[in-house]
Amino acid sequence: MSEQRVLLVDDEEELRRSTAQALELFGLTVQTFSTADHVLELTGFSFDGVVVSDIRMPGTDGMTLLHRIRELDAEIPVILVTGHGDVQLAVKAMREGAYDFLEKPFTPQHLAGIIRRGMDRRGLVLENRRLRAVAGKRDDLEARLPGRTQVMVDLRYRIRAIGASDADTLIIGETGAGKEVVARALHDISSRANRPFIAINCAALPENLIESELFGHEAGAFPGALRPRYGKFEHGRGGTILLDEIGSMPVDLQAKFLRVLQERVITRLGSNETVPLDVRFIATSKVDLEAEVAAGRFRADLFYRLNVATIHVPSLAQRRPDIPLLFLQLVREAAARYGREDADVPQELISSIAQRDWPGNVRELRNAADRFVLGLDSGPGEPGSPSRPDAGRLADKVAAFERNIIAGAIAAHGGALRPVYESLGISRKTLYEKMQKYGLDKKLLGPEQVLQEDRDS
């Protein structure tokens, strides 16, 4: 297991330095940051440590950092530090998933104690995940990329096979299908997991500064370059660089990037010296790059250099049977993220969800789950705000969960009940009894399915 470490974020340099030195005296390994941006490059499912962040900071503040870290892995301990008068905000953060909070001024001993407890908890989380994977149970990768269809089983197999290597990889998939999730997974199961993960949106790079952004520059390289600057490639040394939507990269820059891929060196603007570059490149594209090559918009040599290992991420249309259970999972995640009680998703809604087209793929489905949990969108056929039970007894929650699983399976199989009870490992009699118990009426499945099931009976 990698060494546990503390990522300390505070925009006040003196306080940041003194806190880090004090924590190191307690035997903790501390890495400091003046802003929150680079912290996200080092956190993920494999991160073994704790994040400590001030709440009030320019740019990305502590609350925003908390939410972004929870999107990567909700079980990373985040400790927030508050100034006087921010306690109410800190309590809100606790409700939204923060591990703990401290009010300034605090003693280093108190902070070190909270950090050690957070590290113990994180260690147990990672060990339990490892044991579950060894036992063949649902592991991290399946939690991040859920689905029982063959295309998803094949996707997870391919990620495990490619992730352990150091091969540059091309990920192809529609908008919202989860290409960045796949890229993160490749990074997290590689030997580079504890090094930076740098995501670069090729379509959003400023055209006049694109080379400086990627390669860096020396002082005086161009007007306004008052001091030397690392580019994103150099900043990611030892880790993984994601080139999102590489098809948007200008053709003249593609030639320079090809040299980086082949030789693993960069030259900063204004310099003649090369800098070795130890990184793994992952590129994503929503367009057919072969067609872009044929149209002259993408270099053929760059395409073939990237195409050594390719992963195709299926759209929701290609994995339609997964939609009901995926929606239920996204609802549970949204409820936890917004501090809401688990919602009982009506069968009619699950059936509607399974039948709808989702051109925005998982991203659109996640937004629908968020709106359902927040009680928005009450239009026909969309997640609305139906009545949901008050939080309460464990038995009620278990019953609601069982009902949702059965309703989702029925919707996933288009109303045919035989594959439902076979896939759930129960008898036909048991399925019928549970349908009666939870009010899952056959009439809601549609006449064609009912007729077919009557013939099967």
- Reading the chain (457 residues) residue by residue, the pLDDT tens digits are 457 899 999 989 999 999 999 999 999 999 999 988 888 888 877 788 999 999 888 888 888 999 889 888 888 999 999 876 666 777 788 888 889 888 888 899 999 999 999 999 998 888 887 776 555 555 578 888 988 888 998 999 899 889 888 899 999 999 999 999 999 999 988 989 889 999 999 888 777 778 888 998 888 878 877 888 888 999 899 999 999 999 988 888 898 899 999 999 999 888 888 999 999 999 999 998 988 999 988 999 999 888 888 999 999 999 988 888 889 889 988 888 887 877 778 877 887 888 788 999 999 999 999 999 888 864 434 544 443 444 456 777 777 778 777 877 776 666 678 888 888 888 888 888 888 888 775 544 433 333 344 344 4
How do strand 78-82 and strand 100-103 relate by DSSP bridges?
Answer: parallel
CA–CA separation, 133 and 139 (whole Å):
5
With a CB cutoff of 8 Å and minimum separation 6, the contacts of 159 are: 141, 145, 182, 185, 186, 189, 311
- Residue 365: the pLDDT is 94
CB burial of residue 53 (10 Å; 0-12, 13-18, 19+):
buried
Q: Report CA 311 to chain centroid distance, whole Å.
A: 17
For the beta carbon of residue 2, count every other beta carbon within 10 angstroms: 11
pTM for the structure as a whole:
0.68
Q: Is the Cβ–Cβ distance between 100 and 119 less than 8 Å? A: no
Nearest to 353 by CA among 387, 383, 376: 383
- Closest by CA to 306, choosing from 237, 242, 234, 238, is 242
Q: What is the CA radius of gyration of the chain?
A: 25
The pLDDT of residue 377: 61
Classify residue 393 as left (phi > 0), alpha (psi -120 to 50) or beta: beta
